Amino acid sequence: MAILIQGGTVYDGSGAPPMEADILIEGERIIAIGPCLAAHSATPCTVIDAHGRVVCPGFIDIHRHADVAMFTAPDFGQTELAQGITSIVVGNCGIAPVPGFGPAQAEYYRYIEPVVGHVAAGLPFAGYAAYTGALEQARLPVNAGFLAAAGAIKTAVKGFAKTPFSAAEMQEAVAYIAQAKEYGALGLSFGIMYQSECYSSREELTTLARAAGDGILCTHIRGEGDSLVSSIEEMLDVAFNAGVPLNISHFKATGVRNWRDAIFRAIERIETARNAGQRVGADFYPYDGGSTTILSLIPPSVLEESTAALVQKLATPAGKETLRQEFRKAHVGWDNMAASIGWDRVIISSVVNAECAGYCGKTMKQIACENGYEEPLDLLRDLVISEEGQVGIIVLSMAQADIDEVARLPWTALISDALYGSGAHPHPRLHGAFPRFLREYVRERKALTMEQAIHKMTLMGAERLGIRDRGALRIGAYADALVFDPACFIDRADYQRPAQMAVGMETVILNGNLLSPHDTNRAKAGQTIFRSS
C-alpha cells in the first residue's frame, strides 16, 4: 500500500528553505513530491495528515557504537526510532568486534566492552563475510552500515604490542581492510588515542589509510586537548598523502586552558586544507561532556601490552609509584584529561563488579573523598585493578561556546557517539542527541535554522560517507521520513537522569514501512548500507 504524507512543512535535507508539499511513497521509494498529490497514486493510500508538522528525511547517525547491540539488545531500535534515527554507521574510533581473530581477541573484547557492550560467544564477528551476511539476515529495525576499524584490525594482527608493524604484519592488516571493502565497508576508522593504535607512526597510519581507497577515513585523532592542533595536522597530512577523504570524529577542544583558543586554531588548519582542495570535514555531538574508557586516563608510558599485565603492574608498590610519576609528566601526543579538567569533572558511568555499582553517576573526586583516598589517582589505580580496566567514564571537558562554534560550521555533521556499554548510567547522548540538537540549538538558542540543522542530521553525513539515495526527500530516494511537531519533539536525558528516552516523534517511515517509534513490536524494516561507487 502507498503512503501519502499530506500538507506538511517539508525540509528536504539539502539545507534549502522548507516548502509546503505532499510526499507520495510507493514500495520503498519516494515517487512524487508536490502539491495535491492525492489523485496521483494508482493504489490505495495510507494518508498521514502532516499539517502543522515538520516532514524531513530520517536522521542518519554516522557515529554510533551499536556494533554489538544490533545483535544482542532485545530493545535495540527503540531509542533510535524515538529520536528519528533511521540509519546508523558503526565501527567508529578504530573500535569494532570484527574481524574477531587473533590470540588477543578475548582481551580486546574486554577492552572495548565499556564502548560497545559485552561480546558474547557465538556472535557473527569472525571475519567480514560472516559479519556482512549476518547484518543482511538480521532484519534490523534501522538501516546499518559499517567502517573497517583499524584498532580491531591491528589487534587481530599483533595484539596490544607497542612495536611497529613488520612488513608481513602490515600486509596482513592491509588485506583485512581490503576484505572489509569487498564486503561493503563505507571506509576506515582510526582511534589513535586507544591501544594499540596510540603507538602507530604517521607512516603506518598513511599506509593503512591508503588501503581505504575511495572510502572515507573517519578518525578519532591522537589528542583533543593540548595536542589538538598538532593532532589535526597529523591527520590532514595522513589523509593528504594517502589520497583519501577525511572526517574528523567528535571535533572538539578539551581542557579548561584550551577553551576559546585551540578550537579556532584547529578550525583554521582545517579550512586552510579545504580551501586548498582537500576533502575534509568533521562531526560533533551537542553536549559539553564526552564518554570513553577509564584506560584513556592512564599515560601511554604506563600501559602494557595486555590489560592483565597492566593490572599486575599497578598492583605492586613499584607500579603505583610509576603511575604517580608518569601521571605528573607531559607526554607527547597524549592529553592528561584528568589533570586538564579536574577529577570533579570525571564521572563514572559503568563498572563490572557489583561492589562498585554505587560509584556510577558520581565524580571521581566525590568517590575518592567518600572512601578515604589520599587522592583520586589512587582511586583510578584501584578501579583499573578491581574492574580489570572495564570502567566507562564521562568527562565534562568542553566549553559550550566552543561547541557552538563547531555546530555553526558549514562542514560539520551531527552525531551521537552513543556508547552501549554503560548499563543504567549511560551518557545522555545515547537517548537524546538528535532531539536535543533541534530543541536547544534551533528552537531555544537559535544558533542554527531548522534547515541547517536537519541538513547536518541527514544529507551531509550521507554524502560524506557515500551513502546513496538516503538523507534527502527527493523522487527516487529511499522512503526514510519523519513527521513531528518541533515543539513536542524533545530529549529528556541529562547527566543526572541519562536513561530517559526522547518523546514527541510522531511518525517514522523506514524504507517505505510505516512505523510507530513507540511500538515495542517494531517492524524489522532496516537494510544494510553499502558505499556507493
Kindly report, residue by residue over 184-216, the tens digit of the pLDDT: 999 999 999 998 899 999 999 999 999 999 899
Angle at 177 between CA 138 and CA 69, to 5 degrees: 30
H/E element, 510: strand 505-510
**Lowest-pLDDT range of 70-79, 307-316, 514-523:** 514-523
The mean pLDDT of 456-478, rounded to a whole number, is: 97
Strand partners, 9: 20, 54
Strand order in the sheet with 346-350: 290-293, 392-395, 346-350
Give buried/exposed letters for 197-209 (b at 16+ CB in 10 A, else e).
Answer: bbbbeeebbbbbb
At residue 280, the pLDDT reads: 98
Please tell me the distance from the alpha carbon of residue 518 to that of residue 374, in angstroms, as a whole number: 48
Q: What is the pTM of this model?
A: 0.94
Query: Hey, where are the domains in the chain?
Result: 59-288+398-468, 293-395
Chain mean pLDDT for the chain: 94
Is it true that domain 59-288+398-468 has CATH number 3.20.20.70? no
Phi, psi of 398 (to 5 degrees): -120, 160
Q: Give yes or no for residue 400 having a pLDDT over 70.
A: yes
pLDDT at residue 523, rounded to an integer: 65
Mean pLDDT of 225-242: 97
Separation CA 269–CA 260 (nearest Å): 16
In contact, 484 and 423? CB cutoff 8 Å? no
d(CA 461, CA 455): 9
Question: Hey, which residues does 145 pair with through a beta bridge?
Answer: 89
- How far apart are alpha carbons 435 and 422 in whole angstroms? 21
For the chain, give the percent of residues with pLDDT over 90: 89
DSSP one-letter code for 278: -
What is the rounded CA–CA span in Å between residue 429 and residue 426?
Answer: 8
pLDDT in tens, 25-61: 999 999 999 998 987 666 789 999 999 999 999 999 9
Going by pLDDT thresholds of 50, 70 and 90, the confidence category of residue 332 is: confident
Give pLDDT, residue 266.
Answer: 98
Higher-pLDDT residue of 474, 162: 474
pLDDT at 520: 47
Residue 425 has which C-alpha cell?
Answer: 548510567
Task: Please report, as a single letter, which amino acid is at residue 193.
Answer: M
How many angstroms separate the Cα of 101 from the Cα of each of 113, 186, 420? 17, 21, 22
H-helix segments, 409-449: 429-436
pLDDT at 294 over 60: yes
Residues 433, 451: Cα–Cα separation, whole Å: 17
pLDDT for position 425 = 85
Q: Please say if the pLDDT value at position 350 is more than 70.
A: yes
